[in-house]
Amino acid sequence: MKKVAVTGIGAVSPLGNSFEASWEAAKKGVSGIAPVTRFDASGIKWKVAGELKGFDASQYLSQKEISHLDPFVQYAVAASMMAVEDAGLARQLSAISYQLSEKDFRPKTNDYLTAGGVIIGSSRGGITTIENALALSSFASGESAWGGQLSAKRLSAFLMPSTSIGMAASYVAQKLGIKGYSLGISNACASGANAIGEACRLIKSGYAGPVLAGGAEAPVCRLCIEGYGVSGALSKINDSSASRPFDRTRDGFVLAEGACVLVLEDYEAALKRGAQIYGEIIGYGNTTDAYHMTRPNPEGEARAISTAIKEAGINIKDIDYISAHATSTPLGDKAETEAIKIAFGKKATEIPVSSVKSMTGHMLSASGAFEAAITLMSMREGIITPAINLKEKDTECNLNYVTEIKKAGIKNAISNSFGFGGVNAVLVFKRVD
């Protein structure tokens, strides 16, 4: 069976508009959480989010495309273009001629990439565009927006296609001229990790081309913030300390946006073309709790961890680092702690554990992919980024949490992603020396 290498990474996140910038910020323990600017949040309880800052979609798309595409698709395109450039599969973005024509924004690629595939996950898809369409459309006089009759006169003809979950993968393929496998995944907050795992399985099964895989999300809108807020999932703290995984005072997650895409290839093919290799994906566990719509089950999460490690062909003693899902919710962090204890037994308290969401907030599907990328860089550079804002450990969350940047020799690591509905995705990575 083929080995799978990661040869490129692209990302836009609350920490930076490239993966390099995001990684440098993560090493410094910088928070990307700040007051909401996408809309007037003065009238609601939840006033902070992990927004992109200064993102310029015109670097990757024409103005016409920008007007038609939901931000989550724009983010996916940006991350994908940076990923293929990083992997050496397309000419430098700086060489793209920024003209009015959409074709002028298509980087020159090669036949190898053309034969490749794209798998991108999203939880909420084009929710921002849908909300804006409802707000801008005319409704029957004297009735509420939700109760009135919607007029189609002001709706865009691109509303339906541009907001579909699968459009991120489809449009990335269109921009990069990829004509092979294409798949959109919506599996709640596990979607980005699922995309990487399914891409890994695709290559292991014999797929010849490279596969772009990751997640994209643009949920920072009033509907999503209030929707998650009334469910009790969001923190009521309105400053940069709001996301504080494993802390005794944690009270919910912070909604965030972004995208991260990895380039996966057959290991031998990557070596043959002289590609840089960030690491090898050696295991993937995908399970469901079959338990509850929102309440996590530690046994289901533990089963995903154990499945991934078994597929990797290694032992629990071989795991040197855990990138936790760790959303900062009271139930979620406790359940994940219990799951790690079930999966690792006595070793659970020895393994360093950290949470990137303490800095980014929860980018939903994009988080799994972004955290996978951070895990790869941690292995490559021999450092663990900190879980910030962890001031007082919950007595029920008693693992070896890293709160300051730490040097560590990491040969094998896991990255956890869990979502509503009890969906679990765990990836196992191996360092390439």
pLDDT for position 137: 62
How does DSSP assign 122-134, residue by residue? -SSTTHHHHHHHH
| Dist CA 118 CA 169 (whole Å) | 6
pLDDT at position 103: 52
Model pLDDT, residue 149: 52
Tell me which DSSP letter residue 153 carries: G
Q: Is residue 133 part of a domain?
A: no
pLDDT of residue 125: 92
Please give the average per-residue pLDDT across 113-134, as a whole number.
Answer: 92
- What is the overall mean pLDDT for the chain? 91
Whether residue 414 contacts residue 343, with contact meaning beta carbons closer than 8 Å, is answered with: no
Query: Above 80 in pLDDT, residue 100?
Result: no
Report pLDDT for 25.
Answer: 98
Element (H, E) at 303: helix 298-312
Whether the per-residue pLDDT at 92 is higher than 50: the answer is: no
**pLDDT average, residue stretch 314-324:** 98
- Give the number of other CB atoms < 10 A from CB of residue 141: 7
Query: Within 150-254, where are the H helices?
Result: 159-163, 167-176, 191-204, 222-230
As given in the structure block, the two tokens for residue 413 are 């690591």
Type and span of the H or E element at 368: helix 365-381
Measured in residues, the chain has a length of: 433
**Choice between 1 and 237, residue whose per-residue pLDDT is larger:** 237
Q: Residue 329 falls within a domain, yes or no?
A: yes
Q: Does position 367 have pLDDT exceeding 50, yes or no? A: yes
**Residue with the two structure tokens 């989010």:** 49
* pLDDT at position 120: 98
- Sequence-distant (6+) residues with CB within 8 A of 326 are 245, 246, 332, 333, 336, 353, 355, 357, 358, 387
379-427 residue pLDDT tens: 999 999 999 999 999 999 999 999 999 999 999 999 999 997 779 999 9
Say whether pLDDT at 105 is over 70.
no
Q: What pLDDT shows up at residue 146?
A: 46
Is the pLDDT assigned to residue 324 strictly greater than 70?
yes
Residue 118 inside a domain? The answer is yes
Nearest 10 degrees: CA dihedral of 287, 290, 294, 298? -60
pLDDT, position 363: 98
Note whether residue 251 is domain-resident: yes
CATH number at residue 195: 3.40.47.10
Please state whether beta strands 211-217 and 117-121 pair in parallel, antiparallel, or not at all (unpaired): parallel
Q: What is the mean pLDDT of the segment spanning 424-432?
A: 97
Confidence of residue 99 (pLDDT cuts 50, 70, 90): very low
| Average pLDDT of span 333-337 | 97
Position 97 scores a pLDDT of 35
Predicted confidence at residue 93, as pLDDT, reads 45
- Residues recognised as catalytic: 189, 325, 362
Instruction: Collect all residues with Cβ–Cβ distance below 8 Å to 94 and sequence separation of at least 6.
Output: none
Q: Is pLDDT at 102 greater than 70 in this prediction?
A: no
Of 56-70, 119-133, 289-303, 382-396, where does mean pLDDT reach its minimum? 289-303
Asked if the structure places residue 142 within a domain, the reply is no
Question: What is the token pair recorded at 123?
Answer: 């939880």
Q: What per-residue confidence (pLDDT) applies to 344?
A: 98
Looking at residue 187, the DSSP 8-state letter turns out to be: B
Q: Which residues lie across from 409 on neighbouring strands?
A: none
- What pLDDT, on a 0 to 100 scale, did the predictor assign at position 95? 34
- Residue 209 makes CB contacts below 8 A (sequence gap 6+) with 112, 113, 114, 115, 116, 117, 180, 181
- In 3D space, the residue among 289, 116, 97, 121 whose CA is nearest the CA of residue 203 turns out to be 116
Whether 104 shows a pLDDT value over 80: the answer reads no
Q: Which amino acid is at 5?
A: A
The structure tokens 């907001």 sit at 163
pLDDT tens, position by position, 180-211: 999 999 998 999 999 999 999 999 999 988 99
119 Cβ partners below 8 Å, 6+ apart?
A: 169, 181, 182, 183, 184, 185, 195, 196, 198, 199, 202, 211, 212, 213
Please give the pLDDT value at position 108.
63
- Summarised one tens digit per residue, pLDDT across range 134-187 is 776 654 344 444 455 555 556 777 777 788 899 999 999 999 999 999 999 999
Number of domains in the chain: 1
Tell whether 396 is covered by a domain.
yes
Find out whether 262 and 82 touch, Cβ atoms under 8 Å.
no
Is residue 132, in this structure, part of any structural domain at all? no
Q: Is residue 266 part of a domain?
A: yes
Determine the structural domain holding residue 61 and report its residue range.
Answer: 1-126+164-421
